[in-house]
Chain A
Amino acid sequence: MRRGLLLAVVMWFPSFTNAAAQDTTRAVLQLLYDNPQVRPTLVVVPVAGLDSVRTIVERDLDQSDRFELILLPMVSQPIEPGALNLAPYRAMNAELALEMVPAGGALVTVRLYDVATGLIRNEGLMAVDYTGTGEGRMTIHRLSDEVVRWATGKVGIAATRILYVLDNRVWLVDADGYGPRPLTPAGRTAYSPAWSPDGRRFAYTELADGKGYVVLQSLTSGNRVVLPGTEQTMNITPSFSPDGTHIAFSRVMNGAYALHKADVTNLCCAERLTGGRFAENLSPTYSPDGRRIAFVSTRAGSPQIYVMSSDGTNQELLVPFDYGITGASFAPEWSPDGLKLVFHRSMGSGFQVLVFDITSDRVRQVTSEGRNEDASWAPDGRHIIFTSSRSGGRQLHVLDLETSRVRRIPTPGTAQLATWSPRLSGAP
């Protein structure tokens, strides 16, 4: 239906003069692309010598869920001099064509065409690692994200990574499922990884010796340091402030979990944020502006989602619930635009992931198949990763909230507690 509408719009324009048609078409297409429900068809032009790059870019663009990919065979053609002949792609009903031409060394000229008009929408020179292995893949993912930005004006998520827990260790994997590897030592129980906002380190809880330590680990050097003030008792569910200066976490005080925050920059001075001996407070998540912290509390009996100023004042209920009816709610994470929170709740069908819209004060259930929990936002604010039992065991799944497309992130065993990185600008 939507496809038909778009084609009808495009076919209607030849009645205009050529130049006017091109401008108007472009404007209308841009309008349509801004509607996330409309996914333009896109083809990546085969070019000799760039097959491995093309494969990765095609997958990135597909996994952005913003395009309908037209996949061509791997038989790459020699580059023809002069302008790209778009006729074959027009015949395939491609609306966008992406051309990548080797430009010497590691450089690639990247062009995005509006196929209908033949206009180059965007063009740029980018450095990529042709081998597409290891860290070099990130250069290709950044190219993909730039194409997403050209076509939609939105942030791509190809150049991102995911931390998760498998066999009581924290693992790292690229957002396309490439290269899963453990980061924390074997034989020590690691839990609840949390990214630093710059993507260069992460915090997690290590359960050992009857304690729960908050540990900071560098992704560049692998160095680990225990957050001072967390050497005693249980310290769980760490979370960075958006400016990276503080970590909020939950600590056992007098037999109950209370929220604290510690200064990461100076590695000192844990400060208590919530009181009360008879309620549990855990799973803090900062709003993107750093001014508020949402968290789970049992102060009304059942665990539910509350919010406070980041200095601990103005504590109040955030996600409404019916006392005695609404199921326990857990693991909130504030969306990148600050307008929503994702969390999971005990429902008749087990745990399900819900999105709370702060503006409308409403919740929307976004999963239903199997048991689904511990969701985390991608930096584009439309994808979430979560633990799901839908394919048996605990596996990581990605859901696009706009199209409802789901894909699984392959992991070498049952995995949980995934957390999506911010956009990774350089090598970690």
Chain B
Amino acid sequence: MSLRAALFSLVSGGLLVAGCSKKVEPVVTPPPVETTTPTPQPPPPPPPPPSTEPTCEQVITRMVSELAALVHFDTDKFDIRPGDATVLDGKASILQSHPQVRVRITGHADERYTAEYNLVLGTKRAESAKSYLVSKGVSGGRMETASLGETAPLDPGHTEAAWSRNRRAEVSVIAGRSTLASHLARCQ
């Protein structure tokens, strides 16, 4: 019998007692259950062990940042490179085990290609990442795509290194963030 059921029967008993004395003037004293009955107190939640077990919020934050890990692309390309497929595999498993999470995948381009077509390139990169996740079993309906083209560079530099950082897809959580720790019983 669970603790909750035990408490319920005790409360019911108290009400039953009150029901028996219904011809008496209303009693204004607090219900006996809470004042007189020695109730077994539920054990206080154990303080989280400082280093070994993260809080639920810490778990959520870690999941969000793993989902946000950048996927990069070659110049003027939008196919998923093998190394980036691994990054997406990590996202796929998080999304599969947290079915209430919805994400937006935003594609970006570097400044070297032409401005307006960079919006298309960003969309193609986002769609490419989405297709990969769908191939790993994530429902397409949980993912929306967007593009910021070259308008939001991570690195404002004009070097090859800056450009390769800027050719990317970003995954952000747009719904169900609080369920990202639900795989842990203590965070449900």
Interface positions of A (Cβ within 8 A of B): 168, 189, 191-192, 207, 210-212, 234, 236-237, 252, 255, 257, 280, 282-283, 296, 303, 328, 330-331, 344, 351, 373-374, 387, 416-417
Q: Which of B14-22, B44-52, B88-96, B112-120 contacts A (4 or more CB under 8 A)?
A: B112-120
Closest CB-CB distance, A186 to chain B, in whole Å? 14
CB distance from A278 to the nearest CB of B (A): 11
Q: Contacts A189-B151, A191-B151, A210-B146: A373 and B127 contacting too (C-beta < 8 A)?
A: no
Known: A236-B119, A252-B123, A280-B120. A211 touches B146 (CB 8 A): yes
Q: Contact between A234 and B114 (Cβ–Cβ < 8 Å)?
A: no
**Complexed CA–CA distance, A236 and B119 (Å):** 8
Q: A212-B147, A236-B116 are in contact. List 5 more A-B contacts (CB 8 A).
A: A189-B151, A191-B151, A207-B149, A234-B119, A236-B119
Closest to B120 in A: A280
From 84 to 113 in chain B, residues with beta carbon under 8 angstroms from any chain A beta carbon are 104, 106
CB–CB B114/A373 < 8 A: yes
Q: Is there an interface contact between B116 and A283, defined as CB atoms closer than 8 Å?
A: yes
- In the assembled complex, the Cα of A296 lies from the Cα of B114 at a distance in Å of 13
A235 CA to B127 CA, complexed, in Å:
16
Q: Is the interface of A mostly helix, strand, loop or mixed?
A: strand
Considering residues B115, B145, B147, B151, which has the most beta carbons from chain A within 10 angstroms of its beta carbon? Answer: B115
Contact B114 A257 (CB under 8 A): no
Given A210-B144, A252-B123, A257-B123: A189 and B116 within 8 A (CB)? no
Q: Are B119 and A330 in contact (CB under 8 A)?
A: no
Q: With both chains docked as a complex, state the minimum distance between the C-beta of B130 and any C-beta of chain A, in angstroms.
A: 8
Given contacts A234-B119, A257-B120, A257-B123, contact A351 B145 (CB under 8 A): no
B115 engages A212 (CB within 8 Å): no
Contact partners of A211 in chain B: CB under 8 A: 146
Residues of chain B with a CB closer than 8 A to A373's CB: 114-115
With both chains docked as a complex, state the minimum distance between the C-beta of B169 and any C-beta of chain A, in angstroms: 13
Query: Min CB distance, A32 to chain B, in Å?
Result: 40
> Smallest distance from the beta carbon of B174 to chain A beta carbons, Å?
8
Distance, CA A234 to CA B152, complexed state (A): 16
**Which B residues form the contact surface with A (CB < 8 A)?**
104, 106, 114-117, 119-120, 123-124, 127, 144-149, 151-152, 174
CB proximity of A293 to chain B, nearest CB, Å: 16
Sample 29 A-B pairs with CB under 8 A, ordered by A number.
Answer: A168-B151, A189-B148, A189-B152, A191-B116, A191-B119, A191-B149, A191-B151, A207-B119, A207-B148, A207-B149, A210-B104, A210-B106, A210-B144, A211-B146, A212-B147, A234-B147, A236-B116, A236-B119, A237-B116, A280-B124, A282-B117, A283-B116, A328-B117, A331-B114, A331-B116, A344-B114, A373-B115, A416-B115, A417-B115
Structural contact, A296 and B123, CB atoms closer than 8 A? no
Question: How distant is A264 from chain B, measured CB to nearest CB, in Å?
Answer: 21
B73 to chain A, nearest CB (A): 16
Whole-angstrom distance from the CB of A235 to the nearest CB of chain B?
10
A255 touches B116 (CB 8 A): no
Whether B116 contacts A330 by the Cβ 8 Å rule is yes
Pick from B115, B116, B119, B146 the residue with the most CB of A within 10 Å. B116
User: What are the residues of chain A within 8 A of B115 when measuring CB–CB?
Assistant: 191, 373-374, 387, 416-417
Most buried by B among A189, A255, A331, A387: A255
Q: How far is the CB of B79 from chain A (nearest CB, A)?
A: 15
Asked if residues A330 and B127 are in contact (CB atoms below 8 Å), the reply is no
